[in-house]
Structure 1
C-alpha cells in the first residue's frame, strides 16, 4: 500500500463518466446501508457482513456463469496483481465491518458525516501513494471539508459513546480501499476486481460467522439477499468511477450521500439531523464541488 509507483494511465480519463458512476455508487451505498441498519437491529453485524459478501459472490457468480467459461477465463486473466486485489478485498471487508458495527448503534447520517472524511483522506493520501498532484487551493478545500466534518459531528462524549469512533475506522479503510482500487485495479477488468474483492471478504467472513450466527426469519430473507445484491452493484460503480477518472476528482462526489442518508434516515428510522449537521454539510459539499471542478 505504501508504493509510490505511478499508475499506468488509460488511453484517456473520462471525468464526466467517472462522476456519473460515483453518483450512482453513492446512492446504491445508501440503499445498502439502510438495509444493513435495519437488519443489525435483530442480527449480529458479523452475520450481516457475511450475507453482504456471500450475496455478492452469488450474484456475480451467476452472471459469470451466463458469460461462459472462455469469457470468464479472459476476464480473470486480466488481473495484473492478484495479491493487490486481495488487499483491496480485505480493506473493503474492514471498512464494511466498521460500518455495520456503527450502523447498529448510531444514526445513519451520523455515520455518513464522519465517513465523509474518507474522500478528503483519498485526496491527501493520493499524493504519496499514487503520485497524484494536489494544488494549494485543493489542499485548502480539503481543510475546509475537515472543518465541516468537525462541525457536523458536534461535541461527542467519546467515553460515554465509544461507538462514535467506529465510523473513523470505516473512513480510513474505505479511503485506502479506493486508492487500492486505483492502484491495483485500474487496468484490470472491472468484473475481475469485483470478483476478487468479494472473494476475499467472503472467505474471511465465512471463517468467523459461525460464532455469531442466529436463525434468519423467513420475512428477513429477501432483505439479506438485497444486501448482497446491492453490495455487488455498488462496488462495480465505484470501480468504474476509479477507472474513468482520478481518485481525487471523483471521490468528493460521495458527499451527496448526505442527501440520500437524510431522506432514508428520516423516512425509515425517524432520525432528524441537528442544525450543525447541515451547517457542516454545507462546508463539506462546497469543498467537494470545488475539488471536482477545479483544474488539477
Structure 2
C-alpha cells in the first residue's frame, strides 16, 4: 500500500469529515449498548473488532507484505500509544453511559488545548503569547460548556476530562513515536494494546450478549478501526493544520444523533462554550504565533 501524497487537500478534508462521522456513529452505538452492558465489555468489543479487521487485511496482503507493515521504529512507543488510546476509550464509554453525547464531545474538544500545554514539558516545545491566550480562551469555553456542576453529586462529569487528557497524551506520543511508521502499523499496535488489556479484564464484567445486539457489537469494532484509519489517512493526505478543524463538524452530527436517538436537548451554554473551544482549537491548529 503506497503512501498517499501530501498535496491532496480535498481528499484529506474528505477523510477527516468521514472520520468525524464514523466517530459519532461509533459513539452512538456505544451509548446505546451502554444501557445494557458494561462499558468494559463494549471497549473489548471495539478493540477485538478492530484487530479482526486488521488481521484479516494483513492476511489478505500476504505474509511478506503483512509482516513488513508490522515493523516499527519504536515498539514500546507504539504500545504506549495503544494504552493511552485504550484509556481515552474507557473514559469516553463510561462518560457516554452517564452524560449527553454532545457534552462529552465538547469537553473532548479541549484535547488540543492540553496538547499545547503538555508539549511544553514533554516535547520541549515553546508556546507563544498568542497560543497561550488561545488555550486560556478554550478553557473558559470548557467552564461555560459544563455549566454549574455538583461534582460530588455528579462525579461522572469528570470522566470526559480523563478522556481528553488520555487523548491529548495519545496525540503527543503519536507525534513522538508514530511519525515515521506506516499508518497501518500505528493502527495495528494501537489496536493490539487495547485488545490484549481489555481481553484480560473483560471476563470480570461479562454479560451474555443478546442475539439482537450482536450486529451492533460487531459494528462497534468495525467503526473503531475505520474511524482511526480514516483520520490517519486524512493526516497523510494534507497538513494537520488544514484538516484538523474539520473534525469539529462532529458537533453537528453529535447534536443530531443525541437528539434523534436519545432525546437529548443541548443547553445553550453548551453551544456557547463549544464556540470558544473550537475557535481556540482552530487557532492552535492553523497558527504558530
TM-score normalised per structure 1: 0.89
Cα-to-partner distance string for 1:243-279 (whole Å, 9 max, x where unaligned) = 5667677555443322221111011101000111111
Task: Report whether the alignment pairs 1:34 with 2:28.
Answer: yes
CA 134–236 in structure 1, closer or farther in 2 if over 3 Å, else same: farther
- Displacement of 1:233: 1.1
- Name the counterpart of 1:210: 203
Cα-to-partner distance string for 1:169-190 (whole Å, 9 max, x where unaligned) = 1100011011111211111011
Distance 2:124 2:237 in 1: 17
Task: Report whether the alignment pairs 1:68 with 2:50.
Answer: no
Cα-to-partner distance string for 1:75-96 (whole Å, 9 max, x where unaligned) = 112x100000100010011111
How does 1:102-117 map onto structure 2 within 5 Å?
102-117=95-110
Task: Report whether the alignment pairs 1:144 with 2:137.
Answer: yes
SS in 2 for 1:123: helix
Cα-to-partner distance string for 1:49-93 (whole Å, 9 max, x where unaligned) = 00000000111111111111110111112x100000100010011
Cα-to-partner distance string for 1:20-75 (whole Å, 9 max, x where unaligned) = 54433222111111110000101011100000000001111111111111101111
Do the aligned residues in 2 keep the contact of 1:98 with 1:167 (CA within 8 Å)? Answer: yes
Task: Report whether the alignment pairs 1:50 with 2:27.
Answer: no
Task: Report whether the alignment pairs 1:255 with 2:248.
Answer: yes
Distance 1:87 1:246 in 2: 24
Task: Report whether the alignment pairs 1:175 with 2:178.
Answer: no
CA 221–162 in structure 1, closer or farther in 2 if over 3 Å, else same: same
Distance 1:22 1:124 in 2: 24
- Between the two proteins, the alignment pairs up a number of residues equal to 286
Distance 1:140 1:230 in 2: 36
Structure 2: gaps (5+ residues): none
- Name the counterpart of 1:231: 224
Structure 1: gaps (5+ residues): 1-9
Do the aligned residues in 2 keep the contact of 1:179 with 1:247 (CA within 8 Å)? Answer: no
Do the aligned residues in 2 keep the contact of 1:186 with 1:243 (CA within 8 Å)? Answer: no
SS in 1 for 2:73: coil
Cα-to-partner distance string for 1:220-246 (whole Å, 9 max, x where unaligned) = 111001100010111123334455667
Distance 1:146 1:132 in 2: 20
- Name the counterpart of 1:6: none
Do the aligned residues in 2 keep the contact of 1:22 with 1:250 (CA within 8 Å)? Answer: yes
RMSD between superposed Cα atoms in Å: 2.4
- Name the counterpart of 2:272: 279
